[in-house]
């Protein structure tokens, strides 16, 4: 849960704005967290950041990629639409 003292920020969609958003706000929010809780993380990010849909999409793709890696799926398998259930493992970000 976000603290009441956290101010909702708004960022531009420039490359520099996305980089600043990810490095200064989103990465510290996600590092050490369970990557499999994608919906939870996206909800937290949306509460904290207004706009910046491209940066948010990049982070969401990274979360899905981390989740796939934690399930032992290779890159081709993760991008395939024909997925078979695999054993899940917990994976922490960075």
Domains of the chain: 13-79 (3.30.390.10)
Query: What DSSP designation does 36 have?
Result: T
Q: Distance between CA atoms of 86 and 7, rounded to whole angstroms?
A: 40
Claim: this prediction has a pTM higher than 0.95:
no
Evaluate the CA torsion angle 68, 72, 78, 81 in order and state its sign: negative
Tell me phi and psi for residue 49, to 5 degrees. -120, 130
d(CA 66, CA 1): 22
Q: Are 56 and 10 in contact (CB under 8 A)?
A: no
pLDDT per residue as tens, the chain (94 positions): 444 444 555 555 788 888 988 999 999 999 999 888 999 999 999 998 888 889 999 999 999 888 888 887 766 655 554 455 555 555 566 5
**Whole-number pLDDT of residue 41:** 94
């Amino acid at each position: 849960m976000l603290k009441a003292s956290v101010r909702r920020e708004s960022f531009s969609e420039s490359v520099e704005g996305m980089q600043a958003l990810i490095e200064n706000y989103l990465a510290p929010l996600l590092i050490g967290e369970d990557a499999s809780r994608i919906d939870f993380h996206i909800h937290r990010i949306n509460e904290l950041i207004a706009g910046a849909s491209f940066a948010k999409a990049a982070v969401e793709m990274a979360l899905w990629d981390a989740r796939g890696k934690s399930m032992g799926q290779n890159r081709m398998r993760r991008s395939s639409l024909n997925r078979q259930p695999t054993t899940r493992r917990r994976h922490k970000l960075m």
